[in-house]
Amino acid sequence: MKRLAVSVTALLAIVFAFTTAGASAGSKMDAVIDELLGTPYKYGGTTTKGFDCSGFTAYVFAKFGIELPHSSSAMAEKGEKIAKEDLREGDLVFFNTSGNGISHVGIYVGDGKFAHASTSKGVVITALSDKYYAKRYVTARRILSDSAYEKIAIEQPAVQEQAEKAAGAAEGTEA
Q: Which of 24, 51, 59, 116 is catalytic?
A: 116
Quickly state the pLDDT bin for 168 (edges 50, 70, 90).
Answer: low
Q: Which of 27, 32, 82, 104 is catalytic?
A: 104
Q: Model confidence over 103-127: pLDDT tens digits?
A: 999 999 999 999 999 999 999 999 9
Q: Which of 53, 60, 107, 115 is catalytic?
A: 53
Is 164 tagged catalytic? no
pTM: 0.77
Is 104 tagged catalytic? yes
161 has pLDDT over 70 = no
Number of neighbouring beta carbons within 10 Å of residue 139: 15
Instruction: Write b or e for each residue in 109-122: b if 16 or more Cβ atoms lie within 10 A of its Cβ, otherwise e.
Output: bbeebbbbbbeeeb
* Topology, domain 27-154: endopeptidase fold (from Nostoc punctiforme) (3.90.1720)
